[in-house]
Amino acid sequence: MQKISKINWLLSSHKSLSISRFVYLSLYETERGYYKKKKVGEDFVTSPQISQMFGECIAVFFSMIEKNSFKKSNFLELGPGNGLLLKDLIRSVYQIKKEKINYYFLEKSNLLKKSFLENLKTKAKIIELKKFNLEQKPHYFICNEFLDALPVNQFEKKNNKFYEKRITMKNKTLKIINKKLDFFSNEFINLKNGDVLEVSPLSNLYLNKIFNHINNYGGGIIIFDYGPFLKKKIDTLQGIREKKKCDFLKYPYETDITYHIDFQDIKQKSSNFGLKAYGPITQKKFLFFNGINERFISLSKKCTSNLQIKKLESQFNRLTNPEGMGGLIKCIYITKNQLDLGYFNE
């Protein structure tokens, strides 16, 4: 007999669940969770799944900002999924710098292809991090579509009162309800009636630890994620199921659930740690300034048929198209150091 899901069990004993709890269970509940069953790329495609050029450009970026050697620092990728970015980045850094790097990763699912770890042994020491305990040295943190996959809560101001949006079950259907808040934090003060504030406690936790580490030991964090330059105070939660947008409540455990990242908020939080943020800029701009054209030309010379060239062109277009991932995904780099990254702020 199939066990009752944790979401149903909790809703049978509690009036409501926070959105973040619902999202967490829906994505990561043992055995049932979306990321426990699905492969990255099944319902949505990320940049490393499209082409090796993505990871190669990030390798160029890091090799340019770290003029000397990576010997005194570590890389740490958060949420690498199946590990394609890790593979392309390590291979490419090795080609540029001719040195073996330390590459840590923190991944909740078991999607990472173990063969990558074996094949990259001569180019990097790859270590899975089970807990967020870091060595006391500079780290280069990498997050591609990681923060938007973390659970989020929503709050709304209506008639000058503050509410938390929560999830309840009515007639076997999941619904959003508003629960009035008696206490609220400073973040709520500037909200106008009708505004929806999205807060990810887990994202804040990770970012605080990372900013603190960069402030103490150096390094930096590069983030690629969906989100506008200036996020409006609106509901951006969405479900993706079978490659189509859907109501995230409709199919628990079957839907990828994401929201839009607030880059200005991340910038503000990093400045509280004395860090400097470069960007956000579009993914397209980042890739162009870090050599995607040159990579395209070099790879196209190795193509042996028109079909291969067409495939490469299509990958290039998907990564850089301003109407698609090239424009919708933004990139930000945060560090303590003053860097010559003019193109980030033009």
Ligand X SMILES: C[S@@+](CC[C@H](N)C(=O)[O-])C[C@H]1O[C@@H](n2cnc3c(N)ncnc32)[C@H](O)[C@@H]1O
Residues that bind ligand X (CB under 6 A): 35, 40, 46, 48-49, 79-81, 85, 106-109, 111, 144-146, 149-150
At closest approach, how far in Å is the CB of 110 from ligand X? 9
**Quick one: 36 or 233, whose CB is closer to ligand X?**
36
| Residue whose CB is less far from ligand X, 54 or 344 | 54
Shortest CB 12 distance to ligand X, Å: 26
CB 146 to ligand X: min, Å: 5
Task: State the Cα–Cα distance between residues 275 and 267, nearest whole angstrom.
Answer: 9
For ligand X, the closer of residues 16 and 252 by Cβ is: 252
- Tell me whether residue 45 or residue 309 sits nearer to ligand X (CB atom): 45
User: How far is the C-alpha of 268 from the C-alpha of 69, rounded, in Å?
Assistant: 30
At residue 333, φ and ψ (nearest 5 deg) are -125, 130
Q: How far is the CB of 215 from ligand X (least distance, A)?
A: 22
Q: Which residue is nearest to ligand X (CB)?
A: 79
The encoded tokens of residue 2 equal: 């199939």
State the minimum distance, in angstroms, from the CB of residue 46 to ligand X. Answer: 3
Helices 201-217 and 263-271, packing angle to 10 deg: 40
Q: Which is nearer to ligand X, 81 or 280 (CB)?
A: 81
**CA–CA separation, 44 and 51 (whole Å):** 14
Report, in Å, the least distance between residue 247 CB and ligand X: 19
**Cβ closer to ligand X: 163 or 206?**
206
HEC letters along the chain: CCCCCHHHHHHHHCCCEEHHHHHHHHHHCCCCCHHHHCCCCCCCCCHHHHCHHHHHHHHHHHHHHCCCCCCCCEEEEECCCCCHHHHHHHHHHHHHHCCCEEEEEECCCCCCCHHHHHHCCCCEEEEECCCCCCCCCCEEEEEECCHHHCCCEEEEEECCEEEEEEEEEECCEEEEEEEECCCCCHHHCCCCCCCEEEECHHHHHHHHHHHHHHHHHCEEEEEEEECCCCCCCCCCCEEEECCEEECCCCCCCCCEEECCCCHHHHHHHHHCCCCEEEEEEEHHHHHHHCCHHHHHHHHHHCCCCHHHHHHHHHHHHHHHCCCCHHHHEEEEEEECCCCCCHHHHC
Give the residue with the Cβ less far from ligand X, 40 or 89.
40
CB of 151 to ligand X, least distance (A): 8
Cβ 48 to ligand X, closest distance in Å?
A: 5
Is the Cβ of residue 163 or residue 329 nearer to ligand X in the bound state?
329
Residue closer to ligand X by CB (options 163, 207) is: 207
CB of 273 to ligand X, least distance (A): 21
| Count of C-beta atoms within a 10 Å radius of residue 152 | 24
User: At how many degrees (to 10) do helices 52-65 and 292-301 cross?
Assistant: 130
